[in-house]
Amino acid sequence: MWPLKKTMAHFPKIRRIPFEGPASKNPLAFRHYQPSEVIDGRTLKEHLRFSIAYWHAFRGTGGDPFGPGTIVRPWEKGRDAISVAKTRMDAAFEFFTKIESPFWCFHDRDIAPEGRTLAESNRHLDKLVAHARDLQKATGVKLLWGTANLFSNPRYMCGAATNPDAHVFAYAAAQVKKALDVTKALGGENYVFWGGREGYETLLNTNLKREQAHLATFLHLAVEYAKNIGFKGQFLIEPKPKEPTKHQYDFDVASGIAFLRTHGLDKHFKFNIETNHATLAGHTFQHEIEVAAAAGMLGSIDANTGDLLLGWDTDQFNTDVRELTLAMTGILRAGGLGTGGFNFDAKLRRPSIDPEDLFHAHIGGMDAYALAFKLARRILAEGKFEQFVAARYASFDSGFGRDIEKRRIGFRELNQLVLKKLGEPKPRSGKQEYLENLLASYLHG
């Protein structure tokens, strides 16, 4: 239970969101997410490991390129930026508790104002980290991951680790050093590198090879420093194909894997997969999960969705149970997310200005994920898709098929086999429509 009476003030009309079951008509209740429900010896809260993204939920103002923010929170008042940041953080932890989120995530600059110098920024950060430590202790809410904002300040306009100016590289390194210290101090279970402005607009001014090598060096230095300070959290790369730059270097999971392997970093990193980034790359969410899982590099999820009609990162809350069920089957089949979780990297639409809208948004997202989790478990328990897929590849389980997989047979032998024995292969249906109907039968009962 939320123990700090003074901080109950920020959402006075909303109590802890209750679970009321699928038939509930209460918009401020969960219909599928029952945090205390025990499944296989673990609560749903422990299985799902939801997390709230500080930058959207508590720093998002609804501003867009055509106009300023629309969202004015009652707790955002006062002259002293540090005390405003502390009050904001009180409101955030009240929200995390009332929405039953076990985790939160932040960028360094989300929680504390940037100072005039790096030293001043670090002092600000230390004050807010001390406050966060108290609030984490009081509420039991934990840090899923920390990260550094290496893209908002104008000094990073041409990138951070990939900036053509070594001075900017050094500044970014100093900032990430501090962010790692802070993430460790707060018990963060992971540390995320999203590409920010690590990419380019035009090759007329860019040495692509050198920039990629610098990025690799930066990541190596981070790994080294984490080892030095004994930070045990998992490093995660969050791929995104474009925005803010035209060509981001970590385009998608597949190119991320190639980059990490090329530079000898693959042992140290997994992926934080964001739904909207997957679709911007021309992939499905499920595809990105499957590519990471196949490499044993599935780390965490940034839970959101885009808009099919818009070509940028709209970061909406995802209530598409079909998409999430497909994603969940992939995640569960891969053995889950380990130290990762489902972080709602999603924001309210510009006209959704009430504090209550924060609750509606996260309730919808959490319920959709909880329902998808249950459906995926049923699908996997019944194993019909697994059986179908296994049967589809059965010719590789024995005989010459097995010899192919084991690389015990060559073109000469296969040629002989086809000419003398096998002849023409017999076509077999892929049965996609049958399988789609089977999926629909789980989704629609």
Rounded to 10 degrees, the C-alpha dihedral 397/401/405/407 comes to 140
Catalytic, out of 47, 90, 108, 110:
110
- Within 262-291, the residues that bind Ni ion by CB under 5 A are 274
Q: Which residue is nearest to ligand XLS (CB)?
A: 194
In the complex, minimum distance from the CB of residue 223 to ligand XLS, in angstroms, rounded to a whole number: 19
CB 304 within 8 A of CB 274: yes
User: What would the x/- binding string for ligand XLS be over residues 177 to 216, using CB under 6 A?
Assistant: ---------------x-x----------------------
Decide if 110 is catalytic. Answer: yes
Beta carbon nearer to Ni ion, 89 or 301? 301
Beta carbon nearer to ligand XLS, 57 or 226? 57
CB 99 within 8 A of CB 366: yes
**Rounded Cα–Cα distance for residues 445 and 374 (Å):** 13
**Rounded Cα–Cα distance for residues 85 and 426 (Å):** 68
In the complex, minimum distance from the CB of residue 193 to ligand XLS, in angstroms, rounded to a whole number: 8
- Within 243-282, the residues that bind ligand XLS by CB under 6 A are 274
Beta carbon nearer to ligand XLS, 87 or 162? 162
Which of the listed partners (Ni ion, ligand XLS, none) does 147 bind, with a CB threshold of 5 to 8 Å by partner kind?
A: ligand XLS
Q: Is 109 in the site for ligand XLS (CB under 6 A)?
A: no
Structure tokens that stand for 50 in this block: 């939801």
Which of the listed partners (ligand XLS, Ni ion, none) does 49 bind, with a CB threshold of 5 to 8 Å by partner kind?
A: none
Among 313, 325, 359, 362, binds Ni ion (CB under 5 A): 313
Catalytic, out of 56, 107, 214, 283:
107
**Rounded Cα–Cα distance for residues 154 and 272 (Å):** 26
**Rounded Cα–Cα distance for residues 294 and 290 (Å):** 6
In the complex, minimum distance from the CB of residue 402 to ligand XLS, in angstroms, rounded to a whole number: 43
Looking at residue 73, the DSSP 8-state letter turns out to be: -
In the complex, minimum distance from the CB of residue 353 to ligand XLS, in angstroms, rounded to a whole number: 21
User: What would the x/- binding string for ligand XLS be over residues 135 to 174, using CB under 6 A?
Assistant: ------------x---------------------------
Q: Is 108 in the site for ligand XLS (CB under 6 A)?
A: no
**Rounded Cα–Cα distance for residues 110 and 378 (Å):** 39
| Length in residues, the chain | 445
**Rounded Cα–Cα distance for residues 179 and 143 (Å):** 13
User: What would the x/- binding string for Ni ion be over residues 227 to 266, using CB under 5 A?
Assistant: ----------------------------------------
- Within 42-101, the residues that bind ligand XLS by CB under 6 A are none
Which of the listed partners (Ni ion, ligand XLS, none) does 288 bind, with a CB threshold of 5 to 8 Å by partner kind?
A: none
Alpha helices in 234-320, H assignment, sequence order:
253-262, 275-280, 285-294
Provide, for the chain, the percentages of residues in helix, strand and coil under a 3-state DSSP scheme, each rounded to the nearest 5: 50, 10, 40
Give the CA radius of gyration of the chain: 24
Q: How far is CA 207 from the centre of its chain?
A: 30
Which of the listed partners (ligand XLS, Ni ion, none) does 124 bind, with a CB threshold of 5 to 8 Å by partner kind?
A: none
Among 94, 100, 198, 238, binds ligand XLS (CB under 6 A): 238
**Long-range residue pairs from 281-289, CB within 8 A, at least 24 positions apart, any chain:** 281/239, 281/240, 281/241, 281/251, 281/252, 282/241, 283/252, 284/323, 284/326, 285/323, 285/326, 285/327, 286/323, 286/326, 286/327, 286/330, 288/239, 288/252, 288/253, 289/327, 289/330, 289/331, 289/334
**Rounded Cα–Cα distance for residues 221 and 108 (Å):** 19
Decide if 367 is catalytic. Answer: no
3-state DSSP assignment of residue 298: strand
Q: Is 345 in the site for ligand XLS (CB under 6 A)?
A: yes
Q: Is 302 in the site for Ni ion (CB under 5 A)?
A: yes
Beta carbon nearer to Ni ion, 339 or 395? 339
Structure tokens that stand for 286 in this block: 């499920």
Q: Is 345 in the site for Ni ion (CB under 5 A)?
A: yes
Catalytic residue numbers read 107, 110
Binding stretches for Ni ion (CB under 5 A): 274, 302, 313, 345
Binding site for ligand XLS (CB under 6 A): 107, 147, 192, 194, 238, 240, 274, 302, 313, 345
